[in-house]
């Protein structure tokens, strides 16, 4: 078989449009997912019993159901609840909800594994649970959390491709559009793979730089 280079050349700028959308969605969802997940993780470590229980149930639900189903639930559920936000925000929300659950687990695991003596020393000077979490345990956990959080952001980025099913014009969807009009699936899918790979390589590199820059004691 031969590669149709003309189609490849034509597709490169078209896919760039989808890339911008993918980056937009991924950035927003990463922002909400990380902040929400850190908050939920802290609640599951130090909150009231009922709040911990709610976070547990939330994490369980997200981990126990396919993302595709979660996307559909948000997409069809939001309008029923009176929110007409469109497929872009439905996608951002679905991915944020999904990401936050995994981040919460990472935060719980990492913060929970800080050496026990730290909590005891903090208690011995009269600190309460919330203060200990915020000022003693969380700052010590940030650096060890970076690799796992990067993984989650990478997964999130790949998961944006699932939003093509609710017609969000992101990278995968833009590729499908080219395939539909020019029928060159192999070229386009290979090109899509390269695009994703490039974005993720940059992400990994940024994460390594961040990890190196963060203070180690």
CB 203 within 8 A of CB 157: yes
Tell me if 31 contacts other proteins by CB under 8 A. Answer: no
Tell the burial category of 200 from Cβ atoms under 10 Å away from its Cβ (0-12, 13-18, 19+): middle
CB 154 within 8 A of CB 203: yes
State both tokens at 171: 């990278």
Query: Among 5, 48, 50, 217, which residue interacts with other proteins (rule: CB under 8 A)?
Result: 217
Task: Report how far residue 149's alpha carbon sits from residue 114's, in angstroms, rounded to the nearest whole number.
Answer: 17
- 3-state DSSP assignment of residue 184: coil
> At its nearest, how many Å lie between other proteins and the CB of residue 125?
4
HSE-CB for 147 with a 13 A CA cutoff: 3
Q: Pattern of binders to other proteins over 94-133, x per CB under 8 A?
A: -----------------------xx-xxxxxxxxxx-x--
Scanning 65-85, the segments in alpha helix (DSSP H) are 67-80
Query: Among 111, 136, 153, 163, which residue interacts with other proteins (rule: CB under 8 A)?
Result: 136
Tell me if 213 contacts other proteins by CB under 8 A. Answer: no
> At its nearest, how many Å lie between other proteins and the CB of residue 122?
8
Q: Which of 96, 141 has the CB closer to other proteins? A: 141
Tell me if 80 contacts other proteins by CB under 8 A. Answer: no
Beta strands per DSSP E along the chain: none
> At its nearest, how many Å lie between other proteins and the CB of residue 133?
12
Tell me if 49 contacts other proteins by CB under 8 A. Answer: no
Give the residues lining the site for other proteins (CB under 8 A): 117-118, 120-129, 131, 135-136, 139-140, 215, 217
């Amino acid at each position: 078989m031969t590669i149709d280079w003309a189609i490849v050349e034509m597709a490169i700028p078209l896919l760039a449009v989808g890339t911008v959308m993918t980056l937009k969605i991924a950035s927003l969802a990463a922002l909400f997912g990380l902040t929400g997940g850190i908050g939920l993780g802290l609640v599951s470590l130090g909150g009231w019993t009922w709040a911990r229980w709610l976070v547990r149930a939330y994490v369980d639900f997200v981990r126990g159901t396919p993302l595709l189903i979660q996307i559909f639930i948000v997409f069809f559920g939001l309008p029923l609840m009176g929110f007409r936000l469109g497929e872009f925000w439905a996608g951002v929300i679905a991915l944020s909800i999904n990401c936050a659950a995994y981040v919460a687990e990472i935060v719980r695991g990492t913060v929970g594994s800080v050496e026990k003596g730290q909590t005891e020393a903090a208690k011995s000077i009269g600190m309460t649970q919330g203060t200990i979490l915020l000022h003693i345990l969380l700052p010590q956990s940030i650096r060890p959390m970076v690799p796992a959080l990067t993984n989650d952001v990478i997964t999130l980025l790949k998961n944006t491709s699932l939003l093509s099913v609710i017609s969000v014009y992101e990278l995968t969807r833009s590729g499908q559009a080219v395939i539909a009009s020019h029928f060159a699936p192999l070229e386009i899918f290979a090109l899509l793979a390269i695009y994703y790979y490039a974005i993720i390589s940059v992400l990994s590199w940024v994460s390594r730089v961040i990890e190196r820059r963060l203070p180690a004691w």
